[in-house]
Amino acid sequence: MKSTTLRRSNITREKVAMMEALNRYNRQHQDEDFYKSQNKTRELDVLWQSFGVKPQRNEKAPQVYFVTGLILGVIITLAITTVISLLINLSTPKDSIEAPVKKQPAVETQGKFSFIPSDSAAVKPAAPVVTTEDYTVKSGDTLESIVIRFYGSFDMSKVKLIQDANNMANPNALSIGQKLIIPMN
């Protein structure tokens, strides 16, 4: 240190010499401690290797646990459903099971339905009921588009039915506002 710095700080030369000696001593002992700690870690490594402890295996992948759990879940579910179905079958007495009764069809008599079969052996079959709908021809309508609208698809037999019901000679002679009778089967 410079003498001007020493005078300002009121530190004597002896104190400076003592601090420098202490500094050297600390550096020397720090190096020794470092080497000692290095030697200790080497000794521990050698002891650990001679002890014979092998590194542990890696744990199984999560997929293994997932698949194992899935398989066990399916097996347990099947076992539970089997036990429940066996309990149901064992708890139901066989004598209490009744054969299903065949129901008689309803017979139409004079506009009334009867669920009791009639005494007469010959029951007349009901005539098929033909319903019709009225349609007013609009702008842009053709007989083909009307057939598709009411029947879902084009069929020439349906065109003939509409022609016969309306006494039409020409299917292309439609006029706006004309009333058509559409037979629905």
Question: Residue 140 and residue 137: Cα distance in Å, rounded?
Answer: 9
Question: pTM of the entire structure?
Answer: 0.32
Q: What torsion do the CA atoms of 19, 22, 26, 28 make, to the nearest 10 degrees?
A: 120
Asked whether the beta carbons of 107 and 117 are under 8 A apart, the reply is yes
CATH topology of domain 131-184: Membrane-bound Lytic Murein Transglycosylase D; Chain A (3.10.350)
Q: Tell me the two tokens of residue 178.
A: 């004309």
Distance, in Å, from the CA atom of 98 to the CA atom of 135, rounded to the nearest integer, reads 54
Question: In the chain, where are the structural domains located?
Answer: 3-51, 56-93, 131-184
Answer for the pair 80, 87: CB distance below 8 angstroms, yes or no: no
> pLDDT tens string for the chain (185 positions)?
556 665 566 777 888 888 888 888 877 777 666 656 666 677 777 666 666 655 566 667 888 899 999 999 999 999 999 999 988 888 776 655 555 555 555 555 556 666 666 655 555 666 666 688 899 999 989 889 999 998 888 888 998 999 999 988 888 888 899 999 999 87
